[in-house]
Structure 1
């Protein structure tokens, strides 16, 4: 019940994009609350394990490939925080080369130090704890991207691969935005990392709020039926777990809330204060609101207070579940 409630909170379709029509088809893939299915591979992480997280929406690529939205990176930074703080594991974040600096900056706001893979390995092997995350860029050329995917999966042996607000290849071989427009220019083909992980039997998780993201290929009929331009923009890349949400950042927060309940650690829960600090930092590091195109502390056209309020609902839900053993949302007196 607690996990179902978490799903319900983040499936609120504030943008009225038709995402509510994707929730039941996505849930049918796993036959349980989606947040629980997404959190489970993370709940067994051990010291030194790696989790690959893919994100980055070059929302105004026609203007510049350095313009990226804050929906995705902010949530990923919070998820990376939970992975390193809770398990001393290594979050390896993959984005376009052009926005590595922005991703690294917002990750630091969440708490982890951004280091190289080699430095991360030293950190987890050192008795004195250091919070770390790795940020790397992907390849634009398809052949190079395939080779990169093979190498990174083989070298890191990730326990899970998670894609957040990352456009996936469509049936015509292009990348499409939520309006069905081709915005392929300058985009790293990180889809191959998900495909390579799937071949290796590694759990894959996709989070999206528009129908065009990696993972939506698991339910193409539902995307075509419920999302405007769905037949054109739907990604053909499927994932084991698909999490359709109102805002992609929220999907990350739902996973951290579910993970906190699973392992009984309140420190993993994203907080309203951290949400405020991260969204206020977004303009300073160069991440825009993807809806408005402005450098302001909003995400997907929704004000800061809306995001903080939703995060508070998740926090309260998870905290009460942990404190009461998950048996009820509050203690009866």
Structure 2
């Protein structure tokens, strides 16, 4: 291991630790991390950021799949969408790319309102997105399973450079979509995994971010999740299908975190480190403003509240996570070689081999 490899690894370890803080205390995030870390073999955030770093170039399309519609109000939740908007900005900052949010129709209006907060123009016409600077797109993906393959093929034909899924609902092996406690929510969800699966078969680099197991990509570590996470195995859901809540969809790269947004923040921070540009990761003020605008336009917290919150965590908590990620990563970027007299002796002891 070289000096730079050690620094990169430990920045990734910091970000992975921050995105898996467990204020609730029941440990699901740590269970998931054990499985996803074993699958990946290195810090998840830095590994996924490296995928984007190597795959995305100027003017490339990047699809961001997002949007979980919740009972009983039948409206989308904040988790996933907040970080998807900020990831769109990060992709423009890092690569001058063309991010496109793919979401349920329920999410489109709020996403269009949030675009201004992250400094981007937003269009539903993807030709316009590809033509104009500082632009992002939004596509409402069908909830009709029969119509999904045709829409997926149309979007895949545009040849995106990468696809990222953040808290996007995924069906189990029986084709049933579930909420966290095992109720059937199939009719409410966009069937965007048709696009995910098509792009993956075409070899498009992909990153799936989840926080429980019922999201796109979590089937990657299916055996681990079914063994340790409640409601995920056969017969454990409440809807009667008998299939459990675990998504059957797999991914080539996976991030798991306490909430999906935190995992996506870690991805952006790692990308900022790789590009040596901390402006890629948004500032604290932008985090809180995106949350407020999303809430004012109908997105709900996991609890059902219309007050700004992500999986039960307040604006203050989310701003704190972003702030710690910024500070830890910025220190490594700014003061990278101030401790060089330590790296050689540490490496000589071979702990990190």
Q: Which residue of 2 aligns with 1:295?
A: 306
CA distance in 1, matches of 2:311, 2:118: 20
What TM-score comes out, normalization by structure 1 length?
0.91
- Quote the residue 2:321 is aligned against: 310
Which residue is equivalent to 2:146?
A: 143
2:19 is the counterpart of 1:10: yes
What does the per-residue CA deviation read over 1:122-162, in whole Å, with 9 as the maximum and x for residues that have no partner? 11xxxxxx32110011112223101211221122x112111
Instruction: Name the structure 1 match of 2:218.
Output: 216
- Aligned residues, how many? 320
Change (3 A) 1:182 1:132: same
RMSD value, Cα: 1.9
2:103–2:140 Cα contact (<8 Å) kept: yes
In structure 1, how many angstroms separate the alpha carbons of the residues matched to 2:272 and 2:339?
Answer: 16
Match of 1:111 in 2: 119
Q: How far apart, CA to CA, are the structure 2 residues paired with 1:13 and 1:52?
A: 30
Q: Check if 1:57 corresponds to 2:64.
A: no
Mapping for residues 1-333 of structure 1, pairs under 5 Å = 1-15=10-24, 16=26, 18-44=28-54, 45-60=56-71, 63-64=73-74, 67-115=75-123, 116-123=125-132, 130-155=133-158, 157-231=159-233, 232-290=244-302, 292-325=303-336
User: Which has more radius of gyration?
Assistant: 2
Give secondary structure in 2 for the equivalent of 1:14: coil
Q: List structure 1 segments (4+ residues) > 4 angstroms apart after TM superposition.
A: 326-329
Q: What's 1:127 paired with? A: none
CA distance in 2, matches of 1:98, 1:274: 23
Q: Distance in 1 between matches of 2:177 and 2:22?
A: 23
TM-score normalized with structure 2 length: 0.86
Report if the CA contact (8 A) 2:214-2:245 is conserved. yes
Instruction: Assess, with a 3 A threshold, how the Cα gap between structure 1 residues 153 and 295 changes in structure 2: closer, same or farther.
Output: same
* In 2: Cα distance, 1:217 partner to 1:298 partner: 27
Residues 32 and 212 in structure 2, CA contact (< 8 A), matched pair in contact too: no
Correspondence for 2:236: none
Q: Is the 8 A contact 1:170 1:233 kept in 2?
A: yes
Q: 1:321–1:328: 8 Å Cα contact kept in structure 2? A: no
The verdict on how the C-alpha distance between 1:328 and 1:132 changes in structure 2, with shifts beyond 3 A counting, is farther
Distance 2:339 2:263 in 1: 23
